Amino acid sequence: MFNLIADHRFSFVSGFHEHLQLEQRCLEVYGSKEEFEKIKEARTVQKETRLEKRFEKKIKEMRQQVHGSKIFKSGYGKAHDHVYGDETYDSEKDEYWKICKICEYKLTYEKL
């Protein structure tokens, strides 16, 4: 019957037809071109926010690897009353020391 051969001279017609189908589908789904543009912009902003958060998370992980996890413990660096553990005696230096359970601050002192 018919032998269909791709003809590059009429490719713009099929491209135009596809464009019309896309516009028609866009109107069915979103109601108007303005609504489509509004939703498209919102998705772009959401994507940028996601990428930014992912970047910040990677930076935080890298900092943890470099500095260790003690910096990121809850309460580290914030004002607090030190809560010390048991005191330990160092006989070589003849001094006592104890460590804060919250921030790992080491308090050294001598007893008279």
Could you tell me which residues come within 8 angstroms of residue 35 by beta carbon, excluding any fewer than 6 positions away? Answer: none
Check residue 69 and give its pLDDT.
60
Check residue 48 and give its pLDDT.
96
Check residue 55 and give its pLDDT.
95
Check residue 7 and give its pLDDT.
53
- The domain ranges of the chain are 10-72, 78-112
Residue-by-residue pLDDT tens, the chain, 112 positions: 444 555 555 555 567 778 788 889 888 998 988 998 999 999 999 999 999 999 999 998 888 888 766 655 555 556 778 889 999 998 888 899 999 888 888 999 888 7
Check residue 72 and give its pLDDT.
55
Rounded to whole angstroms, the Cα distance separating 40 from 97 reads 61
Q: Model-level pTM?
A: 0.43
Rounded to whole angstroms, the Cα distance separating 68 from 74 reads 14
Beginning with the edge strand found earlier in the chain, give each strand of the sheet holding 106-109 in spatial order: 88-90, 95-99, 106-109
Tell me if 110 sits within 8 A of 95, measured CB to CB: yes
